Chain A
Amino acid sequence: MPITVSPETYTYVSFDAEVIRRIADDLVRALGMQDRTITIDVDETTPLVRTRLTIDGDAIHINADSGAFEDTRLPRQQSEAATATALGRVLLRASDRLTGGFGEAPADDQLTLAQVAAWETYCIGRLERLGIAVNRQRWLYNFRNRHGFTDGGDTAFDQLWTNGGLTWGELCAISDRALALKAAH
């Protein structure tokens, strides 16, 4: 299925819709999601880094603030690595929700900060194995901020990072164990 990116041209940032489409296409193939209709809307009026996901049947809709695809070294310029990481995270979350095992996961805006961090870790670990360049320490720091700076927390991070077939229940159990260790610390 074709991937739709809008807008096609940008005024406030130097982004290329074709680059976004190519990166999304590579990810979709790698994740086996070619049968889905995917639309990506970029809000170039904000430098924030949020991405929002809407699933409607087989259709996946992604809203991304321009900061999500931006090169932090070169403001207003596009970064292919940032684009791949941002799209990869949201596509993997969509894939988890669509392929089973995550049916009881709350809506994105209902997730706790710890659940978000745990799911991010699970997604980024898989992205790294797909060949996307990621900074593991960045995501470990993010996980520690939500689950505590403990050895047990780091073990939980490794379990999420290296795993590929978790269910929502299993993911939450790992997260909850780390939170219990944090509370006891």
Chain B
Amino acid sequence: MRKFLPADQLARDERFNTITMQDRFNDPRSALGTGDAATTTAGARQKFRLTPERRDASDGARGLMHGIMVGEIQALEGAGRTCWDFDTAGVAKTSSTGAHSAGAAQNPSGDMDVPFALKLDMARQCWDEARHVEISIKLSDWMGTEIGQFAENTVLFAAACSSDPVLRLAGVNCALEGLAIDVFTTMKEFGDLAGDPFLEFCEDWMLADEVTHVKMGSDWLRKVTENDPERRKKALDFQAVVDKLFSYGGTRSDSDESPIGLARRFRALAGFTDDEVEAINDVSVQALEERRARGAAARASADPASATST
């Protein structure tokens, strides 16, 4: 089986259509009018938090649920790949036939080998993600969504393609599973407010697993880089990049303008410090401001008269 599979080679059947972050950035409508400050007057800012009070609440929840489902598929693929792509520390790099494995050929020094216990944690995560995929499919069905009904952005798996396992832990377990804590908390609250008998319950169970995944990631990151501050810094920088990427447009923050809230309590349970959560909020709020500025500039260039309405 091939090692280090690129995101564009992920196996998907004909129901799915995958898009990249680049496709999303290239949609000119996202700058011109996403329905935020673009459609309000005199600086009034709309609440965009996904709650049942939103007029498009049902479709918004359906879209987010589908995003969760494909995210779970990619998280399963990413954790599985981390088990497979790297050799196990302390295990001889020759097969029973005496041939060197592909991983050994790519990494003869063994500095990218991972401890067996880390692989066990990733294997456990695979089981969790597989269960989450099943739960998400059933929830999507309950909400009236077909598998593949929304385009799939493969950026989560892309974050799991690093050749350094520590960067994968930083990007996927710390940044993206951290985002999952925010998303699940928002959906859990949505289900609770709407009185949905299944949504709140299912999200709560999945949320508990995500807290564990983040904790596993941050614990292993610290352990593996204990004597390598440069590698740790690189990993934390990568985590910040992924956090910023997923804060595009201010998707999640404490502000009601963000569809997804920042789940401070559950993030604390996962081991995030107050300063780390504050840093994520700052990045998201900055992204929100950037979106407003981009929108105003785009509208001014499309119709100079409209520039005064923001």
Contact = CB atoms under 8 A, between A and B. Distances in A.
Contact of B57 (A49, A139, A145): A145
Contacts of B23: 75
Contact of B33 (A11, A45, A49, A141): A45
Nearest to A138: B144
B302 A45 contact: yes
A149 B63 contact: no
A45 B31 CA distance: 9
B34 A73 contact: no
B62 A73 contact: no
Q: State the main secondary structure of chain A at its contact with B.
A: mixed
B275 to A, nearest CB: 35
A149 B191 CA distance: 11
Interface string B1-43: 0000000000000000101000110011110111100110000
Contacts of B57: 145
A72 B151 contact: yes
Interface residues of B, number: 40
A74 B52 contact: no
Size bin of chain A's contact surface: 20 to 34
Interface in A72-105: 72-76
Contact of B29 (A45, A72, A144): A45
B189 to A, nearest CB: 14
A116 B55 contact: yes
Given A12-B29, A73-B151, A144-B196, 19 more contacts: A12-B27, A45-B29, A46-B33, A47-B27, A47-B34, A48-B35, A72-B149, A72-B151, A74-B17, A74-B151, A113-B53, A135-B146, A136-B144, A141-B62, A141-B142, A141-B144, A145-B52, A149-B196, A182-B195
B84 interface: no
A13 interface: yes
Contacts of B29: 12-13, 44-47, 66, 76
Given A139-B144, A141-B143, A141-B144, A75 B151 contact: yes
B145 interface: yes
Interface of B: 17, 19, 23-24, 27-30, 32-35, 38-39, 52-53, 55-59, 61-63, 141-146, 148-151, 194-197, 299, 302
A185 B151 CA distance: 37
B53 to A, nearest CB: 7
Interface string A125-139: 000000000011111
Contacts of B35: 46, 48
A159 interface: no
A49 B56 contact: yes
B144 A137 contact: yes
Most buried by B among A11, A47, A74: A47
A75 B53 CA distance: 26
Nearest to A67: B29
A12 B32 CA distance: 10
B147 to A, nearest CB: 11
Nearest to B149: A72
A75 to B, nearest CB: 6
Interface string A35-71: 0000000011111110000000000000000100000
